[in-house]
Amino acid sequence: MRKFILFLSALLFISCAHKDVLSDYQKNIKRLNNQAFKERLYNTKMSLCYADSALYFLYNDSVNLIENNSDFYYDNLARALNSKAYDNFLLSDFEKANENINKVYNIDEWYPNKDVEIAIADIVNAKMMMRLRASWEADELLKKCYCNHKIHDTLSHWAKSQYYVTKLFLNCFYRDGKYQYNELVKTLNDIEQYNVNQQLMVDETQAYTLYYALTESCQILAHIANYYQNEEGKNVLYFKKSVEYLKKSLDLMNDSKRVSNYDLANNLQTLAGILNDKNRNNDYDFIEGDLNKILLIIKDNSKKFGVNYPIDIGIYDNDLKMNILIHADSLFMELNNPYQIIASKSMISDYYIRDGKLAEARPYLIFAKNYMDSINNNERDDMPAAYKFKNTTSKMAERVYIGLIRTKASDNPEVLANWFSLYQSESFKAFEKEKYDFNYMELCSVNNENKKKMTYMSLSIILIFIAFATIFVFFRYARRNNRLLKKQKELDLERIANVETCLSIFRHDMSPYIMFLQRENVPEEIKHDALQKLIVTLNNTMRWINISTPNGLPFKKTSFVLNEVFESVAKSITNPNNVNLIFKDAPCDVWGDKNLVEIMLRNLVNNALRYTTKGYVKVSAKKYEKDKNFVQITVEDTGCGIQKERLDELFRSDKLIENEDSNSMGHHGFGLMLCAYIIKKHDDETRRGCKIWVESEVNKGTKIHFILCATI
């Protein structure tokens, strides 16, 4: 027992020794990032300040942090950048939000929470795309950003929660018809698989956000089920769920010490929508008790929620609905969020117009129109990236302009005509964006159907294949044996052909030397020279056998300088006729097998010396004129030359090119075949285009050129 306790103590000591201990400096950075996260909706500008401070300390000590704790540095860098991106999004500063998102994407180094931070960057990016009416781009981002982080911590749960919230909002406000309905139902079912009260809630702020998204989604589903799907009872079911989620959100606000204006305003707007639906549809009378409880929560927390409604006002009173909307509008005005301000003004005017109160709607429409103009004309210094914002309001601007026309907010025909023109322009922009989204959804639907068809077809083909495969197993086995026997026979024939070729060339090349050595009265020095040539021929034959037969000499590709090959060949060459042997400087780098290139060049130079009795043999190299990716090597001699009609047969194994000089022991044959084979190996193993060719004129000399791949 004592030994066991000592063993556990040792393990604990080792684990503590290896655990990273944060310095006060690092703790401060982490604290700032945590504060930025906590303040994201309570005080967005303060959250931005915390994130900026965290970045300041990170950049200020970046060298030391990267060297000693790179995981901490990049983890907190991504966290601060994503906080800034989310804060900038909430403040409608899309330019800066996009800038920070790209910085997160551009962190190449690995860090522990990288997959979560990338997912969060994708989610914030998707939120911006939704505001810009690029719904299909938002959908693509959401498809790839689903967070599967193994560590179940606050950040990963928040990323997952935000993913679902963004999907719900995308289909609540930016989709229509069957796509909207199907996607909302699917997302709601996915959420119900998780423990909504634990995993996806994260903290109170995220709980408000998630409940708000669920409330809006169920309300939209109730409308679709009632007007489009024609599914009996579904509209009542979803409307009941909508009220339940709203009550949970307000109960949480009632219990919380702190409530953000952003969350409260969203929930109040949703309550106004539910009251409006309730008063217009008798099927929703069953939730009257829940609505009265919700109203009681708001009245009991009038100071906390900042409400000032009459105590005796009831859920059937239209003034309650408008009072709630106006209070939500005042909260958004305090937040100074341009998107929410214009959306809120548009919603209030829409509700007044529906109730026939055109005069009450006009002030809100005029304010919204002037507010948009001041932003789009860059007149408001407090609105960041104002020129960006006008791209996000096409749908709301359309509502504002048509509202101004319907409420006759001006008696001037020219002003009305201008508003109508602006309405048409915004309507066209909104239509174009929705058309792209509709086409995208149609394409996705078609692709999904095609995938299903392909799956069924593939399964059918597999089953048929298995059935036929079972029948033909025996025949396949027999055919396999026959193929192996045939392949073995072809290999044997190839080996026999190679051996026959080698023997033929060997006999042809060796005979003159053997006959010469058998002659009497031949000086010893000449016999010695003939013997050396006989040895060269024998070595060439051995190399040919190694290369041309299976499992022969391997090809080893390297980059080398031609001068090295030239020097090696020059040292190994004998010059029987004492002609001028010239190797020009060749500082060219080429790709190939250095050993094989030496063998080839040595053969070509020996051939040239053999048939040159006066003049010179010159070896040179230069860039190939037709393609600078190759180097051209030339072996030039002033020897006897070759007849033009025999040039095409020079590199063929079935042809032997003999010199017409009967007194000469040498002839063209095996050596040139070997060169042709080596060039073919280079053509196969490096860049396609390596080749060898000959230029020759009888009694004037021969030039043999070959090209190799240059090292770039």
3-state DSSP of 254-290: HHCCCCCHHHHHHHHHHHHHHHHHHHHCHHHHHHHHH
Q: How far apart are CA 95 and CA 19, in angstroms?
A: 40
Top pLDDT among 584 and 374 is at 584
Q: Could you tell me if residue 324 is inside a domain? A: no
Q: Could you tell me if residue 184 is inside a domain? A: no
Among the ranges given (266-280, 453-467, 503-517), the one the predictor scored with the smallest mean pLDDT: 503-517
Highest mean pLDDT: which range of 85-99, 330-344, 493-507, 639-653: 85-99
Q: Could you tell me if residue 667 is inside a domain? A: yes
Among the ranges given (134-138, 310-314, 406-410, 624-628), the one the predictor scored with the smallest mean pLDDT: 310-314
Q: How far apart are CA 217 and CA 238, in angstroms?
A: 9
Q: Could you tell me if residue 110 is inside a domain? A: no
Residue 235 pLDDT class (50, 70, 90 cuts)? confident
Please give the pLDDT value at position 14. Answer: 40
Give the type of residue at 129: M
Q: How far apart are CA 543 and CA 182, in angstroms?
A: 73
Q: For 266-279, what is the mean pLDDT?
A: 83
Q: Could you tell me if residue 623 is inside a domain? A: yes
Does residue 565 surpass a pLDDT of 50? yes
Please give the pLDDT value at position 398. Answer: 77
Please give the pLDDT value at position 399. Answer: 79
Please give the pLDDT value at position 9. Answer: 46
Please give the pLDDT value at position 623. Answer: 93
Q: Which residues contact 585 (CB under 8 A, 6 or more apart)?
A: 563
Residue 494 pLDDT class (50, 70, 90 cuts)? low
Q: Could you tell me if residue 64 is inside a domain? A: no
Does residue 484 surpass a pLDDT of 80? no
The alpha-helical segments, DSSP class H, found in 281-385 are 288-300, 302-305, 318-335, 338-354, 358-376
The number of angstroms, rounded, from the C-alpha of 387 to the middle of its chain's C-alpha atoms is 30
Q: Could you tell me if residue 558 is inside a domain? A: yes
Does residue 579 surpass a pLDDT of 80? yes
Does residue 68 surpass a pLDDT of 80? yes
For 125-137, the pLDDT digits (tens) are: 988 888 777 777 8
- The residue whose two tokens read 């989709």 is 175
Please give the pLDDT value at position 1. Answer: 45
Q: For 505-518, what is the mean pLDDT?
A: 64
For 297-310, the pLDDT digits (tens) are: 887 777 777 777 76
Top pLDDT among 60 and 687 is at 60
Pairing of strands 616-623, 701-709: unpaired
Percent of the chain with pLDDT over 90: 16
For 45-55, the pLDDT digits (tens) are: 899 999 999 99
Count of domains for the chain: 1
∠ CA 354-360-362, nearest 5°, is 95
Q: CA dihedral in degrees (469, 472, 475, 481; nearest 10)? A: 10
For 238-249, the pLDDT digits (tens) are: 888 888 888 888
Give the type of residue at 637: D
Does residue 17 surpass a pLDDT of 50? no
Q: For 457-481, what is the mean pLDDT?
A: 73
Does residue 16 surpass a pLDDT of 80? no
Top pLDDT among 130 and 665 is at 130
Please give the pLDDT value at position 705. Answer: 95
Q: Which domain, by its residues, includes 662?
A: 554-709
Contact status, residue 155 vs residue 135, Cβ threshold 8 Å: no
Which tokens in the block code for residue 430?
A: 């909104």
Q: What is the CATH number of the domain that holds 613?
A: 3.30.565.10
Please give the pLDDT value at position 386. Answer: 36
Residue 701 pLDDT class (50, 70, 90 cuts)? very high
Q: For 479-504, what is the mean pLDDT?
A: 62
Top pLDDT among 79 and 355 is at 79
Does residue 387 surpass a pLDDT of 50? no
Q: Could you tell me if residue 17 is inside a domain? A: no
Please give the pLDDT value at position 394. Answer: 62
Please give the pLDDT value at position 271. Answer: 86
Mean pLDDT over each residue of the chain, to the nearest integer? 77
Q: For 82-87, what is the mean pLDDT?
A: 93
For 115-127, the pLDDT digits (tens) are: 889 999 999 998 8
Does residue 666 surpass a pLDDT of 60? no
